[in-house]
Chain A
């Protein structure tokens, strides 16, 4: 982000005590929840580095569990995240790995499971000031921040997919800020992450999905 706004200085509005350990943690988990297309019944968090060492005193655990329930970093319900999860029957577990390296001092892994056993794995970094980066989806390394309107496309790594995506974006007049392809290996699953400064029309998802090699799409609006 190049433009520093008034609200980057006087802000964010957030639940304390730490923009990196509380607000950023909530945001990583909220992003994971948005990326999971069904209702989670259980979640396992693994904390690394500084998250692993100081999570209790910073309420990182409450922030993560709150984020999974869709609470924004300024939502006061974060304080009661455990009670609210217990009430709704959401199962949760926290694993502490203070030996492992998540690639950043404030790293959280999140594993979501729905009632049919479908899972989603997300790794996120809290990079300061409440800002985050998602760096892994399942076993594929990715990189996006959620600061832009973002389309996440899960696809087979086959020729023609990117051309299809470009056509869809052009048809809906979406101005792309960034578009990147991440894949596990040639010919297997890949993700295309498309970021735009503007709102992205939801109708575009239907058109993207119409292609035989597209498995799944998610839209995150700013």
Chain B
């Protein structure tokens, strides 16, 4: 059974007494001409790429192609370890931040990543899932359910809004990834489908208006630290939703609001590298040829 927005998704979840992940899996089997085992296997492959991307730069950091990033994830983990369990953001979130930034390092060195939903936001969902897998003991099977849940939310945002920075700013890339991560965390931690959508709505709301302003036009900075804020926002809004806090505006309306804000952003703030971080004197002084 197909769904085209959050309301329809929740209706199916209620009627069939299924979590979002299973409704998305059923939809793919029904409409995607692919069987259940193949879907799980393919997502398992993506999860392995995500894990390797989260770890490799911590073991062996490399400078990115554009030279703006490289080595950040390793620093975060080393600093955390030096504090002996007293890291400011705690074990789970510190790992989530480090992993999300590590994947952007892999991306920046022409390594293998999984767009989720885009390359520029590819650290957020894996950062959330891999860190709770390690610290809270979730199996790969559960993490794949997290990917299924996240893909349902991502699909709705792709269909009814946009997940492209060039079209709707960073709020649409990292913002969408953050909403996907928030929803996946809620499901894995036992929240209801309604709570998933509430967390996602809050996640979008918190990052509403965030501009896409890549320094030198490269998918490096500020993208990397924005992935850290995307995953952190996912944890915060998941925790709020799990505590029973509802976002006043429903998910579908937040998706539409995000799209409208995105379309209203001047083109300087939509991946053109003409505004924000990219237009500062420091960024301009690094431009090629100057």
> Which A positions have Cβ atoms within 8 angstroms of B?
3-20, 22-23, 50, 53-54, 56-59, 62, 74, 76, 78-79, 128-130
Distance in Å: Cβ of B102 to nearest Cβ of chain A:
12
Other-chain residue from B125, B159, B180 in contact with A4 (beta carbon distance below 8 A): B159
Interface residue? B166 (CB, 8 A) = yes
Beta-carbon contact of B216 and A57 below 8 Å: yes
Distance in Å: Cβ of A198 to nearest Cβ of chain B:
10
Beta-carbon contact of A9 and B45 below 8 Å: no
Interface residue? B217 (CB, 8 A) = yes
Distance in Å: Cβ of B235 to nearest Cβ of chain A:
20
Distance in Å: Cβ of B161 to nearest Cβ of chain A:
12
Beta-carbon contact of B46 and A16 below 8 Å: no
22 A–B pairs (Cβ distance < 8 Å), ordered by A: A5-B28, A6-B148, A9-B158, A10-B46, A10-B114, A10-B147, A10-B150, A11-B115, A14-B112, A14-B113, A15-B112, A15-B113, A16-B109, A16-B113, A16-B219, A17-B65, A17-B107, A17-B108, A22-B110, A23-B119, A57-B65, A128-B166
Distance in Å: Cβ of B143 to nearest Cβ of chain A:
12
Interface residue? B190 (CB, 8 A) = no
Distance in Å: Cβ of B156 to nearest Cβ of chain A:
9
Distance in Å: Cβ of B108 to nearest Cβ of chain A:
5
Distance in Å: Cβ of B189 to nearest Cβ of chain A:
20
Distance in Å: Cβ of B165 to nearest Cβ of chain A:
10
What residues of chain A lie closer than 8 Å to B39, measured between beta carbons? 6
Minimal Cβ-Cβ distance residue in B for A59: B110
Q: How many residues of B contact A (CB 8 A)?
A: 48
| Inter-chain contact total with CB atoms closer than 8 Å | 120
What residues of chain A lie closer than 8 Å to B70, measured between beta carbons? none
A3 to B34, CA, bound (A): 13
A140 to B180, CA, bound (A): 43
What residues of chain B lie closer than 8 Å to A54, measured between beta carbons? 216-218, 273
What residues of chain B lie closer than 8 Å to A20, measured between beta carbons? 166
Beta-carbon contact of B115 and A19 below 8 Å: yes
Minimal Cβ-Cβ distance residue in A for B176: A9
Minimal Cβ-Cβ distance residue in B for A5: B32
What residues of chain B lie closer than 8 Å to A76, measured between beta carbons? 111-112
Minimal Cβ-Cβ distance residue in A for B126: A10
What residues of chain A lie closer than 8 Å to B252, measured between beta carbons? none
Beta-carbon contact of A129 and B147 below 8 Å: no
Distance in Å: Cβ of A53 to nearest Cβ of chain B:
7
Other-chain residue from A6, A53, A129 in contact with B24 (beta carbon distance below 8 A): A6
Minimal Cβ-Cβ distance residue in A for B157: A9
A6 to B220, CA, bound (A): 26
Other-chain residue from B154, B164, B166 in contact with A9 (beta carbon distance below 8 A): B154
What residues of chain B lie closer than 8 Å to A74, measured between beta carbons? 112
Beta-carbon contact of B110 and A53 below 8 Å: no
A126 to B278, CA, bound (A): 23
Beta-carbon contact of A59 and B65 below 8 Å: yes
Interface residue? B31 (CB, 8 A) = yes
Minimal Cβ-Cβ distance residue in B for A16: B107
What residues of chain A lie closer than 8 Å to B43, measured between beta carbons? 6, 10
What residues of chain B lie closer than 8 Å to A12, measured between beta carbons? 114-115
A128 to B118, CA, bound (A): 10
Other-chain residue from A4, A8, A16, A130 in contact with B110 (beta carbon distance below 8 A): A16
A145 to B154, CA, bound (A): 23
A107 to B171, CA, bound (A): 26
Beta-carbon contact of B151 and A10 below 8 Å: yes
What residues of chain A lie closer than 8 Å to B122, measured between beta carbons? 16
Question: Which 10 residue pairs across A and B have the least CB separation, nearest first?
Answer: A16-B107, A9-B154, A57-B66, A17-B219, A9-B151, A57-B218, A54-B217, A6-B151, A17-B107, A79-B110
What residues of chain A lie closer than 8 Å to B148, measured between beta carbons? 6
What residues of chain A lie closer than 8 Å to B255, measured between beta carbons? none
Distance in Å: Cβ of A149 to nearest Cβ of chain B:
13
What residues of chain A lie closer than 8 Å to B288, measured between beta carbons? 56
Other-chain residue from B109, B112, B119 in contact with A19 (beta carbon distance below 8 A): B119
A4 to B160, CA, bound (A): 11
Q: Which B residues, 39 to 81, have Cβ-Cβ distances below 8 Å to chain A?
A: 39, 42-43, 45-46, 49, 64-66
Distance in Å: Cβ of A26 to nearest Cβ of chain B:
11
Given A8-B158, A11-B116, A13-B46, 16 additional A-B pairs, CB 8 A: A6-B32, A9-B155, A10-B115, A10-B117, A12-B115, A13-B113, A13-B114, A14-B113, A15-B112, A16-B107, A17-B220, A18-B219, A22-B119, A57-B217, A57-B218, A130-B115
What residues of chain B lie closer than 8 Å to A9, measured between beta carbons? 116-117, 150-151, 154-155, 158, 180
